[in-house]
Amino acid sequence: MRSFNNKVAAITGAATIVEKMSIEFIALAVGAGLALSILGLALFAALTERQAEAFSPPAGRFIDVGGARLHYLDRGTGPAVVMVHGLGGNLRNFYELIDKLATTCRVVVVDRPGSGYSKMMFGEHPALRAQATIIAQFVHRLGLDRPLLVGHSLGGALSLALALDYPDSVRALVLISTLSQVQREPPAAFKALHIRSATLQWLVAWTLMAPLGKLARRATQKAVFAPELVPTGFDVASGAALGLRPGSFIAACKDMTTVPNELAIMAPRYSSLASAWRTARRCLTQCKNARDRRRPHDPGHRPRSDRHLDQTPRNLSESPYLLEVQPRIARERCIGFSIAEAANEV
């Protein structure tokens, strides 16, 4: 009987060992599979970055200023126009305007720090007003005499920050679909960038961003141009793939999550632009409503530069993205021609 019990105990013990080994093996296999998946996604992200940079290499010059190495284009002669792109973009976003404006103006288009080919040489990624300081120093380094500053979206917010903190550095602003007020929640097209954790930003940037970004790219472009159609060739000419790079994604996340605090500080100061530019007839129209209530015929968040913008809401409280100062902040009728007019007249 004792012998039988010993055999049963041995068999039971062996079964327990096998069961533990099976569980450990399964856990090991799952872990190995997950590690291989992450490695594969990271390699895909690295390949996407390499392809994007090969397809859209640096198009201009570099200059070190304010702890950043800025990539910029400098074309034409005449009144100076400095152009700053929006969230997750790069200087190529203005591709349809650069040559048009360069026929009558000196056009300087710059990648914001962390975007395109501009990067910080040391320190943390700068918040909006710190970026404005860098751009103000950039304007000074190039010897530009109070240029017309053109900003799209987040670039418009940066332009406002620069005008508030360095009013003598610019003589006028053109703001295109500008983010000027704190929003209750991010626009749908940009919600994926609203990641606060630095660890999660890094993890998403090196795993999910490249494949999901490629899958969602067309839908995102349709959303930001709606109700208009995405211009033919925009995906190629604008260097859109540069925004899929891990570093660009992380910078965009930091911009997205820090800008509300920056705007909360800036917004109460907008009225100071009126005293800084006393000749303005209508100095400031603030966007009162943080919700997007565009009318169906209004241009999208990224208006096409080949379209007339006479349809832009006259009552700017109807758009949370647009803030206007006239005549010192020039209104666009047709983007290219109006910027040129503003550069020569204000």
pLDDT interval class at 271 (50, 70, 90): confident
One-letter amino acid of 247:
G
The residues, ordered by sequence, that sit 6+ positions from 297 with a Cβ below 8 Å of its Cβ are: 227, 311
* Other CB atoms within 10 Å distance of the CB of residue 316: 19
Predicted confidence at residue 117, as pLDDT, reads 97
Give the residue-averaged pLDDT of 182-211: 90
Predicted confidence at residue 324, as pLDDT, reads 42
The structure tokens 């973009």 sit at: 89
User: Distances from the Cα of 279 to the Cαs of 108, 124, 276, 328, in angstroms?
Assistant: 26, 39, 9, 8
The residues, ordered by sequence, that sit 6+ positions from 139 with a Cβ below 8 Å of its Cβ are: 82, 147, 169, 170
Peptide bond preceding 327 in cis form (omega within 30 of 0): yes
Average pLDDT, the chain: 78
Length of the chain, in residues: 346
pLDDT interval class at 343 (50, 70, 90): low
Predicted confidence at residue 229, as pLDDT, reads 85
The structure tokens 């000749």 sit at: 279
Q: Which residue has the higher pLDDT, 221 or 46?
A: 46
Predicted confidence at residue 272, as pLDDT, reads 81
Give the residue-averaged pLDDT of 198-209: 94
Residue 51 has pLDDT above 90, yes or no: yes
The string of pLDDT tens digits covering residues 228-270 is 888 888 888 999 999 999 999 999 999 999 999 999 999 999 8
Of the listed ranges 8-12, 24-28, 178-182, the least confidently predicted one is: 8-12
Pair type for strands 172-176 and 148-152: parallel
Kindly provide the b/e burial profile for residues 124-159, where b requires at least 16 CB atoms within 10 angstroms of the residue's own CB. Answer: ebbbbbbbbbbbbbbbeebebeebbbbbbbbbbbbb
Residue 293 has pLDDT above 50, yes or no: no
pLDDT interval class at 60 (50, 70, 90): very high
Predicted confidence at residue 27, as pLDDT, reads 67
pLDDT interval class at 195 (50, 70, 90): very high
